[in-house]
């Protein structure tokens, strides 16, 4: 199953689940209310999610005085990929990591931590930023925003379930069904949301490797970032766990194996896929190590 087909099916499942929760709570009227809530929340997220997440992580926009090398690198990668140049931000955080945000390629931003710039070679940084550009080109930033909004709306509707239905004489069976909706609907929404996030990471790895020109650069970066992320705390990410799925590697100290509720695929599996891609293309040159005192190699 291709990544796009899987994502489409999961998005359809999320939409059906959302509409089902609305119908279970209030019948036809509940379905209409659910659609209205979803429309309002998605409209707000569409226009404001990028600003909100950059503000959450205290990101500073790059310019001629603030990390101009990173800005030039990202803009060159975007030009080579035939994409609009995104805004580039840096986050003062020791854990190496990065994410992309924005509703479309014309209104997008990428952000990298200072830890990434210090600890990676120029080739590895290019590969990481190419991965984030791939998310933008594939409209993953919009897909993930919509699914996160749906998941939040489902949780909100589930919490209101007893308020909408509690006054009706439903009997024991109806009460049990409503409790099941309250518990299982948000759980199912979280599973679908995370499955969508994981499926998009593999595709972004593939396209990112194409943009930067060497899958082994990204494989090397992922291995290093995973190692650092497992032992360096990222306080702002811990305070805002709803943004964890946006990062190239989960900043919240993920476990080694794939989990049902993991926002990211197993890093070893991602690296293995990139190594296979490099072999298929006859590429054997890995990323060089960063020079001491010069993170740009």
28 lies in a domain? yes
Residues 111-128: what's their mean pLDDT?
A: 96
> What sections of 160-170 are H helices per DSSP?
161-165
pLDDT of 285: 74
Residue 296: pLDDT above 60?
no
The answer to whether 102 and 136 are in contact (CB under 8 A) is yes
pLDDT tens, 147-174? 766 666 666 666 666 565 544 545 555 5
CA-nearest of 151, 159, 181 to 263 is 151
Strands of 107-113's sheet in order across:
60-61, 87-91, 107-113, 98-104
296 lies in a domain? no
Assign 72 a pLDDT band (cuts: 50, 70, 90): very high
Assign 265 a pLDDT band (cuts: 50, 70, 90): confident
pLDDT tens, 178-229? 666 666 666 666 666 666 677 789 999 999 999 999 999 999 999 999 999 9
pLDDT of 283: 87
Out of 31-40, 59-68, 236-245, the most confident range is 59-68
52 lies in a domain? yes
pLDDT tens, 266-295? 899 999 999 999 999 898 876 666 655 445
Higher per-residue confidence, 34 vs 129: 129
b (16+ CB within 10 A) / e for 157-178:
bbebbeebbeeeeeeeeeeeeb
pLDDT of 233: 92
Q: Show the domain range for 179.
A: 3-280
Let me know if 106 is a catalytic residue.
no
* Catalytic-role residue among 123, 124, 132, 201: 132
297 lies in a domain? no
pLDDT of 256: 44
241 lies in a domain? yes
Assign 7 a pLDDT band (cuts: 50, 70, 90): low
Q: H or E stretch including 103?
A: strand 98-104
Burial environment of residue 130 by CB neighbours within 10 A (0 to 12, 13 to 18, 19 or more): buried
Number of domains observed in the structure of the chain = 1
293 lies in a domain? no
Please report where in the chains the tokens 């998009």 appear, as a residue. 200
288 lies in a domain? no
């Amino acid at each position: 199953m291709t990544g796009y087909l899987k994502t489409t099916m999961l998005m359809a499942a999320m939409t059906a689940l959302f509409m089902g929760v609305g119908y279970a709570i209030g019948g036809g009227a509940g379905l209409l209310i659910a659609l209205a809530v979803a429309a309002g929340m998605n409209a707000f997220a569409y226009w404001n999610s990028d600003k909100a997440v950059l503000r959450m992580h205290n990101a500073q926009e790059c310019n001629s005085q603030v990390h101009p090398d990173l800005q030039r690198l990202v803009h060159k990668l975007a030009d080579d990929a035939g994409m609009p140049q995104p805004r580039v931000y840096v986050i003062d955080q020791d854990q190496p990591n990065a994410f992309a945000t924005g509703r479309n390629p014309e209104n997008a931003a990428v952000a990298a931590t200072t830890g990434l710039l210090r600890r990676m070679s120029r080739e590895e940084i290019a590969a990481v930023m190419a991965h984030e550009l791939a998310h933008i080109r594939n409209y993953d930033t919009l897909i993930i925003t919509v699914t996160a909004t749906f998941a939040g709306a489902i949780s909100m509707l589930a919490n209101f379930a007893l308020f909408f239905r509690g006054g009706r004489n439903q009997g024991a069976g109806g009460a049990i069904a409503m409790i099941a909706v309250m518990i299982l609907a948000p759980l199912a929404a979280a599973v679908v949301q995370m499955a969508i996030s994981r499926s998009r990471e593999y595709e972004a790895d593939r396209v990112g490797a194409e943009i930067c020109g060497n899958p082994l650069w990204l494989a090397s970066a992922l291995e290093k970032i995973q190692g650092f992320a497992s032992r360096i705390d990222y306080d702002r990410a811990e305070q805002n766990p709803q943004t964890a799925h946006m990062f190239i590697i989960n900043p919240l100290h993920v476990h080694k194996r794939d989990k049902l509720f993991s926002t990211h695929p197993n890093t070893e599996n991602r690296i293995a896929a990139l190594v296979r891609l490099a072999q298929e293309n006859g590429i054997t040159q890995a990323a060089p190590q960063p020079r001491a005192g010069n993170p740009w190699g």
